[in-house]
Amino acid sequence: MHGTEAPSPWIARWSHLLPAAGAVLDVACGRGRHLRWFAQRGHPVTGVDRDADALATLDGIGETVLADIENGPWPLAGRRFAGVVVTNYLWRPLLPQLLAAVAPAGVLLYETFAQGNESVGRPSRPDFLLAPGELLRACAGLRVVAYEDGFLDAPPRFVQRIAAVRDAPQPATPRYQL
């Protein structure tokens, strides 16, 4: 059944960076393969998508938000998550909101198509393909733990993917008078 596939190997590989039981947001979650995966590991999950039928398959998994995030306001303004997950989705105007949704000590796990993909399949429109280094530049305010930009052969596709952490504020160091 669609939505029950294994999580992206990239997401699974770097998910250990999330704080235990930290809330996870899956953007453009579809039928929720990552929502299900994180929920099974004890994370409260929230998924946002514009497809009501897809979200209906997620009853009992976690919070779902029906929203057209490309043509309407960001429905989760002011909310922060221990993990923000995005796969196979790109809407550049949303990048600032996604970064703002990463809580201190939280993690952004992002994987989507890159330029070059037009030579092997869809998507092929430049609007949906990251330019070289674009995802890395977008995450400049986060600490990058892992980044890849290149070709994967199963299935053949060009991708960029990143695992990045928002450093937690450090407590002030007490100053002692002598």
Q: Give the largest Cα separation in the chain, rounded.
A: 69
Element (H, E) at 48: strand 45-49
Give per-residue pLDDT as tens, 11-44.
999 999 999 999 999 999 999 999 999 999 999 9
Q: What per-residue confidence (pLDDT) applies to 28?
A: 96
Give per-residue pLDDT as tens, 39-48.
999 999 999 9
Tell me if the pTM is above 0.75.
Answer: yes
Q: What per-residue confidence (pLDDT) applies to 1?
A: 47
Q: What per-residue confidence (pLDDT) applies to 175?
A: 67
pLDDT-based confidence at residue 136 (cuts at 50, 70, 90): very high
Domain 9-107+131-141 = CATH 3.30.9.30: no
Q: What per-residue confidence (pLDDT) applies to 151?
A: 92
| Residues whose CB falls within 8 Å of the CB of residue 145, separated by 6 or more in sequence, listed in order | 14, 17, 163, 164, 165
pLDDT-based confidence at residue 65 (cuts at 50, 70, 90): very high
Element (H, E) at 150: strand 143-153
Instruction: Spell out the domain ranges in the chain.
Output: 9-107+131-141
Give per-residue pLDDT as tens, 106-134.
999 999 999 888 888 898 888 889 999 99
**Is 86:27 a contact under the CB 8 Å cutoff?**
yes
Sheet with strand 143-153: strands edge to edge: 63-66, 45-49, 24-27, 81-87, 102-113, 156-165, 143-153
- The span from the CA of 133 to the CA of 147, in Å, is 9
Q: What is the token pair recorded at 67? A: 């929203």
Please, is 97 exposed, middle or buried when counting C-beta atoms within 10 Å of its C-beta (0-12, 13-18, 19+)?
Answer: middle
The whole-number average pLDDT for the span 134-152 is 94
